[in-house]
Structure 1
Amino acid sequence: MGFKQTVPDNSLFVKGEGTSFMALLGYVDDIVVASTDLKLIQQVKVELNDQFQIKDLGLLKYFLGLEIARQKKEIAVSQRKYALELLDEAGFMDSKPVYSPTVPSHKLSKNEGEFLDDNVQYRRLVRKLLYLTITRPDISFATQQFSQFLDKPTHLHLQAAHRVLRYIKNAPGQGLFFPTSSDIHLKAFYDSDWGACVDSRKSITGFCNFHGQALISWKSKKQATISRSSSEAEYRALAATACEVQWLIYLLSELGLHPKAPAAIYCDSKSAIAISENPVFHERTKHIEIDFHLVREKLHKGTVKLFHVASGSQLADILTKAHCPATFFSYVSKLGLFNLYNPACGGLSDSATLVG
């Protein structure tokens, strides 16, 4: 049919350019087709139906558990139905809500608490929470923590996971917000928590990427090796962020979008910026030489540009550690998460298209 499989994402197919551009995203037997020309979309559906018996669901409203509500100036994506089903399955529909998914004073450990006799319930819950992070970056750090204990979870790990359910109960419809018009400019925030894992003393990497004002990717992950200093942990997090930014640039180019300015990466570590801008290897940096060369290459080519930001404005901090409810809410609001069902935020308007 003339589509080309993209390299950054093998599930994405594109063809044409300008007003005739079309993108097709497939997952097993579910397909999303996007174009500004409805005639081209109809033509693709006819050709697909000639080869397969397809069911046309019309405008995108529901896809793999994602609920899409659209207006002329904005699109909201949430997993409210999925979240409510999760709460109902776990028996937390009538639970008392909390306003943060984690407790700052408590770090989970693999040897703390009594081991569960049956870990199936815990594994199922963590698996469902992982899928919920598709639209809920606010629970990414907590879910990353729970994933460390899938082999031998304890009752304390299960209690911590139940707290996340109570947090979800507070706003099950919270999700991502995308303005329909936005500058073609990538911005990234990254941070690390040095030696955060009490069992292995490995650090936590967290980053979030914005396209204009819209949050489009994020990650909270334990680093593969132990860092000997906070500067090293920050620099490894910078390298991971630079790789993600490069992937996003490749993906945008497949969609016909080409940022004119280098991607802005914001970090609160002056030492990490100094390491990346200093061409001389020192005793404390020679063992991270590969990451050093990667970031230096991106800087030299003008792919990325580093900026220092105050720790209080480091949005990725929510992906590396636990916070008290007030601080946590501040970060969530800056990430642009939006609860379409909250009357205080305007609720649903009559012109919104929504499924639930």
Structure 2
Amino acid sequence: MYVFYGNDYATISLFKAYLSDCLKMKDLGSLKYFLGIEVTRSASSLFLCQRKYTLDIIVEVGLLGAKPFGVPMEQNHRLSHDTSALFDEPEWYRRLVGRFIYLAVSRPNLAYSVHILSQFLQATHISHWDAAMRVVRYLKGTPGHGCLSHHAALLFWVASFLEGILPYLGRQRRGWCDSDWAACPITRRSLSGWLVSWGHSPISWKTKKQHTVSLSFAEAEYRSMTAITCEFKWLKGILLSLGVHHPKAISLFCDSLSALHIAHNPVFHERMKHIEVDCHFVRDAIKDGLLAPSYVPTTTQLAEVFTKALGKSRFDLLISKLGICSPHAPT
């Protein structure tokens, strides 16, 4: 099965006719379901979700009649310091986390939970299984959640997922980056989270533990800024490879004034020697006009949902701003 997407219907029709003649392929019509991803379209946008895949997960673990939870991860959890007994069936846990990873393709709000649960695949304790069951019970209350994407954003989303490139210009690219300093209680490495959106539609996001220990909050934030700058360069490279020039700088929002001062200040000193490479990388991006960093208050930092477990009111507010919603009736 192949998926074609574009705005030149004449060319698409010719290509489908060519495939039909050469490979005897049939045209199944507009895309509605592909690899577990359901597609609902309107005149200006498409809604991507994995409702059937989500319900299959809930049925598989036997929680279809369970009471749902409002958030996927408990605040101030201490899963890394867990001392409970080992879980008897670790392969169940690994299978469930693997299904969460694929589910996170269309649900950015699961990125932090998947990151945390993926750290215990080798030594799974009972509390880790309970935390995974909490995620399933959260899915029970939100089985139809997905990304509402405008056509331009969907093109980049399909490009990332299927490794095909069909970009379309017309909406502003923006990014948010955040970090949780010394988040790992064992290694004391910080957690980076970032989001790239096209208009109001998320097209790329990640939660990842930093490779080295950061000595300060500003350093952790700056390394998060470096990570999203790499993503910006990749996106711009896609456009340039297709002959599309995007001269406008990409807006980047960070809630650390210290990190922003480091990005704009060309002076180095001894305390910044160990992150000098990161500094040069981001500053070159600013100098080249790729990046336009600015301050955003923590209260409106969308990337916070990728770096820590939040309360229900805060969590619901951020995912609504991310464009995550559900057109389905409650289950």
**Fold shared, TM-score > 0.5 on shorter chain:** yes
Deviations 1:312-350 (A, max 9, x none): 01000010001111111111111111101147xxxxxxx
Residues 82, 127 of structure 2: 8 Å contact kept: no
Q: How many residues in Structure 1 have an aligned counterpart in Structure 2? A: 314
Aligned-partner Cα distance in 1 for 2:107–2:41: 18
Pick one of 71, 79, 92 that aligns with 2:63. Answer: 92
Partner of 1:271: 258
Deviations 1:150-187 (A, max 9, x none): 11111111100110111111111100012347843210
Aligned-partner Cα distance in 2 for 1:335–1:257: 27
Query: Are 2:306 and 1:335 equivalent residues in the alignment?
Result: no
Residues 318, 328 of structure 1: 8 Å contact kept: yes
Query: Are 2:19 and 1:32 equivalent residues in the alignment?
Result: no
Equivalent position amino acid for 1:218 in 2: W
TM-score by length of 1: 0.84
Query: Are 2:12 and 1:41 equivalent residues in the alignment?
Result: yes
Query: Comparing both structures, which one devotes a greater share of its residues to helix?
Result: 2
Residues 183, 211 of structure 1: 8 Å contact kept: no
Query: Are 2:304 and 1:301 equivalent residues in the alignment?
Result: no
Pick one of 213, 227, 246 that aligns with 1:226. Answer: 213
Aligned-partner Cα distance in 2 for 1:33–1:304: 32
Pick one of 146, 155, 160 that aligns with 1:175. Answer: 146
Aligned-partner Cα distance in 1 for 2:319–2:36: 22
Residues 192, 205 of structure 1: 8 Å contact kept: yes
Tell me the C-alpha RMSD between the 2 structures.
1.7
Equivalent position amino acid for 2:130 in 1: Q
DSSP-derived class of the 1:95 partner = coil
Equivalent residue runs for 1:82-231 within 5 Å: 82-109=53-80, 111-180=82-151, 183-231=170-218
Residues 173, 196 of structure 2: 8 Å contact kept: yes
Post-superposition offset of 1:31: 2.1
Deviations 1:90-148 (A, max 9, x none): 11111110110111121321653211233100000000000000111111101100111
Query: Comparing both structures, which one devotes a greater share of its residues to strand?
Result: 1
DSSP-derived class of the 2:80 partner = coil
TM-score by length of 2: 0.90
Aligned-partner Cα distance in 2 for 1:152–1:52: 48
Deviations 1:259-293 (A, max 9, x none): 34200000000111111111121122110122111
Equivalent position amino acid for 1:270 in 2: L
Aligned-partner Cα distance in 2 for 1:137–1:59: 25
Pick one of 65, 71, 79 that aligns with 2:36. Answer: 65
Query: Are 2:319 and 1:313 equivalent residues in the alignment?
Result: no
**Which structure 1 segments of 5+ residues have no match?**
1-29, 344-356
The sequence identity of aligned pairs, in percent, is: 40
